[in-house]
Amino acid sequence: MRMSGVDHIHAGTVVGKLEGDPLMVRGFYNTLLLTELKVNLAEGIFFDMSWASLRKCVPVASGGIHCGQMHQLLYYLGDDVVLQFGGGTIGHPDGIQSGATANRVALEAMVLARNEGRDYVAEGPEILRTAATTCAPLKTALDLWKDITGIP
């Protein structure tokens, strides 16, 4: 798809309802984002690749993802990704704006924790709960999806 000029494509999510093997998903993402790739069988890269000056293709993650998984999404998918929170936004009990706010606050809290050097993967649920103390939409979303994320 990258060679045909596609600028973005769903490339796997790891968490949510469209789960995939984390290593294989990393391989898909690397194929879309990197210029040079070496053989990496664990990631599904079976031969060396050089994309030369061919433009990158942005990976998209969607399918059952929501703010309560933000630490996992950031860890597995990195920064160069479109996170498409469909039901994770529209399904918020207080409306779409509250869903969007919850997603944004969760992302910003996780990026801040990562940039401060915290173990945001292990501390993810705690970081989200702390952020939710000052963001009612995030608290509502975490309470709604707690059984899906495992957040106590």
Q: How many angstroms separate the CA atoms of 87 and 26, rounded?
A: 24
Q: How many angstroms separate the CA atoms of 57 and 3, rounded?
A: 9
| Matching residue, tokens 């703010």 | 67
| Matching residue, tokens 């469909």 | 86
- Asked whether 15 and 69 are in contact (CB, 8 A), the reply is yes
- The predicted pLDDT at position 21 comes to 87
- The predicted pLDDT at position 149 comes to 61
- The predicted pLDDT at position 150 comes to 47
Q: What pTM did the predictor assign?
A: 0.88
Nearest to 76 by CA among 152, 12, 140: 12
| Sign of CA pseudo-dihedral 144, 96, 75, 56 | positive
- The predicted pLDDT at position 105 comes to 99
Question: pLDDT tens track of the chain, all 152 residues?
Answer: 888 999 999 998 888 777 788 999 999 999 999 999 999 999 999 999 999 999 999 999 998 899 999 999 999 999 999 999 999 999 999 999 999 999 999 999 999 999 999 999 999 999 999 999 999 999 999 999 988 764 44
- Asked whether 3 and 54 are in contact (CB, 8 A), the reply is yes
- The predicted pLDDT at position 19 comes to 73
Q: Tell me the domains of the chain and their CATH numbers.
A: 2-149 (3.20.20.110)
